[in-house]
Amino acid sequence: MAFQILLNVFIALTWMFLSVSFKPTTFIIGYLIGLFMLLMLRKSFSSRFYLGRVWAVIKLITLFLKELILSNFSVLLLIIKPKMPIRPAIFAMPTVLEKDWEITLLSSLITLTPGTIVIDVSDDNKTLYIHSIDFDNADDAINSIRNTFEKAILEVSRS
């Protein structure tokens, strides 16, 4: 991926020198030309086309912001109720993520979302222990995390 980005920037700079114009618009045009060239040659690279990964990162950030806002509202609704009907619990979530950075990212996203915190990761990195402030069902909570954060992280890292 890094090679493709550097190659695209190199093509853009080459376009600027060939055009003898050092304006930002010339760089952007060269970058778009390089992007088109790399898109045509994407089968010759061993890794996937880098814009797919960039798009997956943008989707992950958008998903996190959406979950952050929804979690804030749900915690706010719990707090403003007079009796505070919370049901805290700790549950174990098995994960399919293998790399350390994937597990760290998932743990960070879960912890940064209000109402949940990752307490521990098992020694084999296969299970996350999560505390939830309002807990209904373990299967629903696990499926919710799998279908949002874990799926998005897999798109960024492996697809």
Per mean pLDDT, which range of 28-32, 45-49, 137-141 is the poorest?
45-49
pLDDT in tens, 18-43: 999 889 999 999 999 999 999 888 88
- pLDDT score, position 159: 57
Say whether both 131 and 62 belong to one domain: yes
pLDDT in tens, 48-77: 888 888 899 999 999 999 999 999 998 898
The pTM assigned to this predicted structure is 0.80
Q: Which domain holds residue 146?
A: 50-157
Say whether both 98 and 112 belong to one domain: yes
Structural domains in the chain (count): 2
Say whether both 39 and 55 belong to one domain: no
One-letter-per-residue 3-state SS of the chain: CHHHHHHHHHHHHHHHHHHCCCCHHHHHHHHHHHHHHHHHCHHHCCCCCHHHHHHHHHHHHHHHHHHHHHHHHHHHHHHHCCCCCCCCEEEEEECCCCCHHHHHHHHHHHHHCCCEEEEEECCCCCEEEEEECCCCCHHHHHHHHHHHHHHHHHHHHCC
134 compared with 131, residue with greater pLDDT? 131
